[in-house]
Amino acid sequence: MASTFFNNGQEQHIRVCITRDSLVPPGQPFYCLSAEGYLNTHCCYTDYCNSMDLKIPSGLPLFVQRTVARTIVLQEIIGKGRFGEVWRGRWRGGDVAVKIFSSREERSWFREAEIYQTIMLRHENILGFIAADNKDNGTWTQLWLVSDYHEYGSLFDYLNRYSVTTEGMIKLTLSAANGLAHLHMEILGTQGKPGIAHRDLKSKNILVKKNCTCAIADLGLAVRHDSATDTIDIAPNQRVGTKRYMAPEVLDETINMKHFESFKCADIYALGLVYWEIARRCNTGGVHEEYQLPYYDLVPSDPAIDEMRKVVCDQNQRPNIPNWWQSYEALRVMGKIMRECWYANGAARLTALRIKKTLSQLSIDEDIKI
């Protein structure tokens, strides 16, 4: 077992050998029973793990996470996704969201918890992680991820329900770019952060906060970049994510998966689609369009990879940018950003940082306080 903790402000490391039986669950490299109270503990399959180097993660110590999770009272189901249910829960008089995975999905639960606990990940436009807990009631294991609760729900739900003002559109798009720029960015140094690519960006995986800004959520498919060795922290499988939002190079499998930047470029393509969903709902000159998913007019619901590939790769089609958007500065800028997110060549697309700068300038020009 290798652990890292703070003692009088000093980072300290210990390495000890523990038995197979002390692993939770037994035999797997997850939490060690003795991990409670430590900030970061890693167990390996092998008897000795001397060459391990751990960093202090962001997030609560594991025993605090467990205590929090075990005092939450579940209230109602608020979402269903790939892996199970999302509940609203009450904790100390406030609301929290609890994503519950079945024990079959242990890998997914562990992976998402691991990503959320990447050092320096915390950001106002990334869903705030509170705790992970594995609760065994004797018959089965319940796997929980606890996070901040956002009553507006996903951006998809929000746009279905409401149209937005120009100001609202800029707040949503700028905050989403802010969150994605932080996720993508590598911060160097011992307390640094690796670059992270989301790989399943879409309006259902972005939440809307009370102040009408975005928080990027559902980090279960994310990959992290180790720039020292130029490697990706899990073997990335070919096509994960949501077919409708897959970039052309993902659909036709030409993406270079050894190259971390490729995953960031695929995220930008998906961000452009999300921007299109938002911009359509913008009230300008008294008009706004109804909510639609990207490619609603070109593919059936729940499209197959082949159906998407035909439209996006072979025919090189993209969502329609209406001509009348050119008459309104904010929509004109949005249309231009989208086009530059949708290039067939991933490397030619904008970066999240570039989009953030363009939208910050737009918010100044439009006299919007963010």
Ligand X SMILES: Nc1ncnc2c1ncn2[C@@H]1O[C@H](COP(=O)(O)OP(=O)(O)O)[C@@H](O)[C@H]1O
Interaction between residue 267 and Mg ion (CB under 5 A): no
Instruction: Report phi then psi at 48, rounded to 5.
Output: -120, 140
Whether residue 204 contacts residue 153, with contact meaning beta carbons closer than 8 Å, is answered with: no
Tell me the three state secondary structure of residue 15: strand
Query: In angstroms, what is the minimal distance from the CB of 82 to Mg ion?
Result: 6
| Number of residues near Mg ion (by CB under 5 A) | 3
Using CB under 6 A, which of the segments 141-149, 163-171, 187-195, 230-238 binds ligand X? Answer: 141-149
Rounding to the nearest 10 degrees, give the CA dihedral for residues 308, 160, 181, 170: 120
Nearer to Mg ion, 1 or 126 (CB): 126
Q: Among 129, 149, 158, 342, which residue interacts with ligand X (rule: CB under 6 A)?
A: 149
Among the residues of 281-328, which ranges form H helices?
305-309
Q: Among 3, 117, 154, 166, which residue interacts with ligand X (rule: CB under 6 A)?
A: 154
Burial of 75 (0-12, 13-18, 19+ CB in 10 A): middle
Residue 200 known to be catalytic: yes
Using CB under 6 A, which of the segments 45-53, 80-88, 167-175, 352-360 binds ligand X? Answer: 80-88
CA distances to 43, 184, 227, 238 from 235, in Å: 20, 18, 16, 9
Nearer to ligand X, 73 or 287 (CB): 73
75 to 94: interface string for Mg ion, x by CB under 5 A: ------x-------------
Burial of 176 (0-12, 13-18, 19+ CB in 10 A): buried
Interaction between residue 153 and ligand X (CB under 6 A): yes
Which residues have CB under 8 Å from 29's CB, separation 6+? 23, 42, 43, 44, 45
Interaction between residue 104 and ligand X (CB under 6 A): no
Using CB under 6 A, which of the segments 6-14, 173-181, 201-209, 334-342 binds ligand X? Answer: 201-209
Q: Among 43, 97, 278, 330, which residue interacts with ligand X (rule: CB under 6 A)?
A: 97
Interaction between residue 217 and ligand X (CB under 6 A): yes
Task: At 342, list the tokens.
Answer: 């949708």
| Distance (Å, whole) CA 240 – CA 237 | 7
Whether residue 78 contacts residue 153, with contact meaning beta carbons closer than 8 Å, is answered with: yes
Query: In angstroms, what is the minimal distance from the CB of 360 to ligand X?
Result: 26
Interaction between residue 243 and ligand X (CB under 6 A): no
Interaction between residue 147 and ligand X (CB under 6 A): yes
Tell me the three state secondary structure of residue 90: strand
Query: In angstroms, what is the minimal distance from the CB of 132 to ligand X?
Result: 13
Interaction between residue 205 and Mg ion (CB under 5 A): yes
Which residues have CB under 8 Å from 334's CB, separation 6+? 169, 173, 275, 279, 282, 325
Catalytic residue among 200, 233, 297, 306: 200
Q: Which does 79 bind (CB under 5 to 8 A by kind): Mg ion, ligand X, none?
A: ligand X
| Distance (Å, whole) CA 296 – CA 359 | 26
Query: In angstroms, what is the minimal distance from the CB of 172 to ligand X?
Result: 16
Whether residue 301 contacts residue 252, with contact meaning beta carbons closer than 8 Å, is answered with: no
Interaction between residue 218 and Mg ion (CB under 5 A): yes
Residue 99 assigned ligand-binding role: yes
Nearer to ligand X, 153 or 195 (CB): 153
Nearer to ligand X, 207 or 312 (CB): 207
Beta strands 2-7 and 223-226: pairing type? Answer: unpaired
Nearer to ligand X, 121 or 207 (CB): 207
| Distance (Å, whole) CA 280 – CA 164 | 9
Binding annotation for ATP: 99
Enzyme catalytic residues: 200
Please give the residue ranges that form the binding site for Mg ion (CB under 5 A): 81, 205, 218
Please give the residue ranges that form the binding site for ligand X (CB under 6 A): 78-79, 81-83, 86, 97, 99, 127, 147-150, 153-154, 157, 204-205, 207, 217-218, 220
Binding annotation: 99
